[in-house]
Amino acid sequence: MTAPKGDAVTGPRSRARISFHDNSDDVRSLWGLYQAAKNSRAVQRHLGPANKGTYLLIAALWETYCEDVLLEATAELVATVRDADLLPIAIRRAIARELKEDKHDLSPWQLAGSGWRAVADERARRLCREIVFNSPKAGRVDELFRRTLGIADVSQCWTTERVPDPRSALDEHLARRGELAHRAASTTITKRQVSDFYQLVMDLTQSMDAHLGAFLFTVTGHNPFADSDPRQPISAGE
């Protein structure tokens, strides 16, 4: 199993994806433990809990990536688009509908001037809290990106050579993660399951970066994930 550090990730990549790899130290440590335990049966008997902990970590890394890349894409969108009228129509309609439903009489004034930037950003953060998590399965990820950026069925972009149906594979892993969280003593996690889960999620982050980068390029004429140093902070446009 490979788990490269963030600075080893080449090609178009978001800051969220770089962080995903940088935060995978415990995954790399588990594989180091397996290498060290090859000749020690006594150590091998204690690797089960390490498998479980790493499996839970991978689910958390995926959840964090989805939140981070969504907020990163939203920040890039509102910073680059010069006027709210240039936002994708699905976003404008959703914000308008929510403001109409707001009982506060002054809510439309939140959009005055450049206020729409803060509204769009805060809305994305709120939806992250409300929709996906703590179970970032395919359907919930789809809902999050549909409601925040107007991207329909973002999970359809997921590609990997490891499994024929990445959506089902991810949901299966996350269902197992739920069983582990609630019935840890009776749930067994193997080294192979840990590896399969991590490799799948790693492939999905690459697919998501490519898809979101193309989306941003279509809307703004700029793909920030293709920059040589995506770690640079995003500043608000004029």
In the chain, what are the domain boundaries? 13-220
Phi then psi dihedrals of residue 230, to 5 deg: -75, 0
State how far the Cα of 170 lies from the Cα of 197, in Å rounded to an integer: 8
Residue 150 has pLDDT above 50, yes or no: yes
SS3 track for 44-100: HCCHHHHHHHHHHHHHHHHHHHHHHHHHHHHHHHHHHCCCHHHCCHHHHHHHHHHHH
Does the pLDDT value for residue 108 go beyond 70?
no
- The per-residue DSSP string of 117-163 comes to HHHHHHHHHHHHHHTTTT---HHHHHHHHHHHH--S-GGGG---SS-
Would you state the structure tokens that stand for residue 181, as one six-digit string? 């969280």
pLDDT tens-digit readout, 66-82: 999 999 999 998 888 88
- Residue 229, pLDDT > 80, answer no
Is 181:52 a contact under the CB 8 Å cutoff?
no
Whether the per-residue pLDDT at 102 is higher than 90: the answer is no
Decide which of 131 and 147 is more confident.
147
The predicted structure's pLDDT at residue 235: 41
Model confidence at 106, pLDDT cuts 50, 70, 90, reads very low
What would the mean pLDDT of 121-128 be, rounded to a whole number? 85
State residue 209's pLDDT score. 95
Q: What are phi and psi of 146, to 5 degrees?
A: -70, -45
Q: Choose between 120 and 234: higher pLDDT.
A: 120
